[in-house]
Amino acid sequence: MVEICDSGKIWCKGSPQPIHAVRVGNKIFATGKEESQIIACWVDGEVLCVDLHEPGVRSARKFPLYLEPTLSGTLFNGFTLTKHADVSIVSSKQNGVEEKIVSGETYKTGQYDSMYSADFWNKVWDLQV
């Protein structure tokens, strides 16, 4: 079974600052997490699931594990089980990554602020948002 093996920050070429990433197997995935966000990540079958949450906005991202990396970068810090190296990275912005965002009135009335990640994940992929 494939699982998240490590997490930390990476420097991507052209990026002004390091960004959050996780390693699943031999691939590095840039989650797109911003400093103000709370994140939960897990693997479900052949998909890396990412739940990003900040007050008033919650996002769900699906990264198919078969995606090929399109960015180059270097491991920066936080990775404890991965040897420091230059790496190829699957970006949160590349084709094949799906995202659903809940905000505004839908966020308020749907009680997304207090929902567990698994419940949020199941609900958001059933919604037309």
Contact predicate 52/32, CB 8 Å: yes
Question: Phi-psi region for residue 62, left (φ > 0), alpha (ψ -120 to 50) or beta?
Answer: beta
The beta strands (E) that lie in 25-114 are given as: 27-30, 38-44, 47-54, 57-64, 71-77, 86-90, 98-103
Per-residue pLDDT tens, the chain, 129 aa: give them: 789 999 999 998 878 899 999 999 999 999 999 999 999 999 999 999 999 999 999 999 999 999 999 999 998 899 999 888 889 999 999 999 999 999 999 999 988 999 999 999 999 988 654
Q: Report the C-alpha gap between 29 and 15 in whole angstroms.
A: 15
Could you count the other beta carbons within 10 Å of the beta carbon of residue 83? 6
Q: Which residue has the tokens 């103000």?
A: 36
Q: Per-domain residue ranges for the chain? A: 4-126
Q: Report the C-alpha gap between 80 and 5 in whole angstroms.
A: 10
